Amino acid sequence: MILENIDITTLDYIHTHKTGALLETSVLSGALLTGASDAVLQRLSVYAHHIGLAFQIVDNVLDITVTQE
């Protein structure tokens, strides 16, 4: 997915609802099964969001800079 001429709000929405949502579900599922507190769940949610955003940034850079060879 090559992102051209997209404002930061739209880009953040895409990243949050793509990989970020998948990672957040995975992270929070494990925490919920162990009975984590609301405070821990909130911190893990922020963690998952940041990891998802970092992954998407790297993925987008690679989409632009790496060739098929």
Band (pLDDT 50/70/90 cuts) for residue 4 is low
User: Residue 40 in contact with residue 31, Cβ under 8 Å?
Assistant: yes
Extents of the domains making up the chain: 16-64
Q: Which two tokens stand for residue 33?
A: 């099964």
- Tell me the pTM: 0.71
Asked if pLDDT for residue 3 goes beyond 60, the answer is no
Only one residue has tokens 């494990």, namely 30
**Tens of pLDDT, residues 14-59:** 777 878 888 999 999 999 999 999 999 999 999 998 898 888 888 8
Residue 14, number of CB atoms within 10 A of its CB: 16
